[in-house]
Amino acid sequence: MTRRSEVTGALRVNSEIYPERPPGFVLHEHGADSVLHCDDVPLTKLAERYGTPLYVYSATTIHERLAAFEKAFRNVPHTICYSVKANSNVSILRLLARQGCGFDVVSGGELERLLAAGHRRARKIVFSGVGKSRDEMTAALKAGILLFNVESESELLALAECAARLRKVARVAVRVNPDVAADTHPYISTGLHKHKFGVPIGSARTLYAKASGMQYLKVAGVSVHIGSQITDVAPFAEAVARVADFVRELRVDGHKVDYVDTGGGLGIAYQKPGLEFAEYVASYARAVTNPLRGLNVHLLLEPGRSIVGPAGVLVTSVLYRKENDGKRFLVVDAAMNDLIRPALYNAYHEIVPVVQSKDLSAKRETVDVVGPVCESGDFFARDRELPRVEEGALLAILDAGAYGMVLASNYNTRPRPAEVLVTRKSVKVIRRREKIRELYSAEL
């Protein structure tokens, strides 16, 4: 039985309120303790069977969050094009494809992953990114993707060259830069003129005029993307309003604009519980769709983190407890090479013991949770108050389903973790743990 507090949607653990992990990660009572589960499977069982560090994903959460998007946008023509860069595991791509999802790719490698996953409906794939190579463009043209989001005049000319060589028509949208600021980390803000992305909205009309004069290019839409991990919907509304005005200008110029790609970037609550997810997505939908009323366009959306972020955790074991002149450390077997977000962005991830005592008087302590990599930046939390855990205990680093494994590396010749996908009581290994010899075999 899951113990819930009087606060709706939260769990009480050692007298502290934790945001509930919707809906895949919940606590269930086991004797004197409570154990964190993914769907119906205890994380203790998964760690025992598959080892740590271990990425665990809830298929239930992915399904329900995708369904929330579909419901929020049900009254307008739209396609959800999941952002593959958030989590590109082939099994997760298959899961989303079975639900009718389209995809947003930013490399030829991501396109090939989709083809390997058996996703043959390439007409639901959009290709974004500021540096597409001719080889990548050629592969996408051969696959017959829906749309290229073009980001410069040079790219447009290169695409025209590739399309002419193959005698295939490329549908294009120019990614316009609306110069809209978003409250997010500067590394993942993309909507200002100082960023490398997009074409200034004031000069994009010239690019559309050039595209319309090229035999194998077809103007089909307008694209915009202002950044990632944005939790205030107001910047989305402002950006789309500017795009809507631009669409009207393009139509006056004689262009046929069928699609508006509003990008992705909707954030999640890593630290503080926010609105219930369906309500949150509904507010986002209103912000995006209201400026487009009357334009009769097909909306393309590129959510990634908001679908898979809360669907994953990284389970890690405590190797050692350590104290330096009163400073306490928990040294765990996961490291920055497994989840780099805290080191790269100083990002916050909730960390909880997998096995939690029901004793409300249980000790708590302030610790740094750190990994074994030889960098002072190898940490998951600093000065974090946690229930006291002993060596050998399991910790769950929450909301690790997006930009976790996709950013993992083999730094310090460390094998990357295994990944498992849980569907209620069913568990599937979707990536086996690497072996050390595999990491240097290509060098011999």
* Residue positions annotated with a catalytic role: 374
Strands 33-38 and 54-58: unpaired
Q: CA dist 195 to 143, 198, 215, 222, Å?
A: 30, 8, 31, 18
Task: Reduce the secondary structure of the chain to three states and give it as a string.
Answer: CCCECCCCCEEEECCEEEECECCCEEEEEECCEEEEEECCEEHHHHHHHHCCCEEEEEHHHHHHHHHHHHHHCCCCCEEEEEEHHHCCCHHHHHHHHHCCCEEEECCHHHHHHHHHCCCCCHHHEEECCCCCCHHHHHHHHHHCCCEEEECCHHHHHHHHHHHHHHCCCEEEEEEEECCCCCCCCHHHECCCCCCCCCEECCCHHHHHHHHHCCCCEEEEEEECCCECCECCCHHHHHHHHHHHHHHHHHHHCCCCCCEEECCCCECCCCCCCCCCHHHHHHHHHHHHHHHHCCCCCEEEECCCHHHHHHHEEEEEEEEEEEEECCEEEEEECCCCCCCCHHHHHCCCCCEEECEEECCCCCCEEEEEEECCCCCCCCEEEEEEEEECCCCCCEEEECCCCCCCHHHCCCHHHCCCCEEEEEECCEEEEEECCCCHHHHHHHHC
